Chains A and B, each alone.
Chain A
Amino acid sequence: QLQLQESGPGLVKPSETLSLTCTVSGGSVSSTSYYWGWIRQPPGKGLEWIGTIYYSGSTYYNPSLKSRVTISVDTSKNQFSLKLNSVTAADTAVYFCARRYSSSFSFDFWGQGTLVTVSS
């Protein structure tokens, strides 16, 4: 059964870089049928799409975050990662990784999410 698990620091200082990894088990990030994405949710607020990556390395980013975001994939480790630089308190959120079927633009499997707090 497919599982996605986010990992990374739960506390990041302002102006530093937030780094998270999503480990995929029960499936392959190299599958040609799926894309892989990051979505975040500030406490008490709605969902925000961050970006999506294909196994080939093709990426798609939210325009509002594009200048600060990098999503990468490591097929040898069956993982994909998120880096968000120059963070501020506004980047405090639960960060979810998820799978997107290639023929739709919906996320059908999600990780449990991880809370990242930006604070000194």
Chain B
Amino acid sequence: QSALTQPASVSGSPGQSITISCTGTSSNVGGFNYVSWYQQHPGRAPKLMIYNVDNRPSGVSNRFSGSKSGNTASLTISGLQAEDEADFYCSSYTSSATLVFGGGTKLTVL
């Protein structure tokens, strides 16, 4: 199964908003509302930030939001902060009853 497509890198200044895209197909992102987003700091385990497209787990800042349109899901971070600098991964359930991750996006806070 092919990985979901994410931009390799995005950047923004403190206080700004950024959006990371995650493009799949109708067999994964477009076909199910089971897109998740993870944040990973260097040397650490990933942390769940968004599940089921637009739901935030308890304890995750409301500066993080998710959405989906067709075969593309998006993660938006508003009010960018220095500690948001990390790698971000999307994942999706697939029609083969499997999971697939995106290639990852490095967020740099300028």
Bound pair: A and B?
yes
Residues of A bordering B, CB below 8 Å: 37, 39, 46-49, 52, 60-64, 96, 101, 104-108, 110-113
Number of A-B pairs, beta carbon distance below 8 Å: 66
Inter-chain contact B45/A64, CB cutoff 8 Å = no
CA distance A49 to B3 in the complex (A): 10
Chain A contacts for B64, CB-based, 8 A: none
**Residue B97 interfacial (CB < 8 Å):** yes
Complex CA gap A30/B74 in Å reads 34
By beta carbon, the residue of chain B nearest A61 is B98
**How many residues from B make CB contacts under 8 Å with A?**
27
Contact B51 A104 (CB under 8 A): yes
B52 within 8 A of A: yes
> B32 CB to closest chain A CB, in angstroms?
8
**Bound complex: CA of A111 vs CA of B93, how far in Å?**
21
Do the beta carbons of A47 and B57 come within 8 Å of each other?
no
Cβ contacts under 8 Å, A62 to chain B: 1, 98-99
Decide: B101 and A47 in contact? CB cutoff 8 A.
yes
Within 8 A of A (CB), among B9-25: none
In the complex, whether B30 has a CB less than 8 A from a CB of chain A is: no
Residue in B closest to A103 when the chains form the complex, CB atoms:
B52
Pairwise interchain contact A63-B1, C-beta atoms closer than 8 A = yes
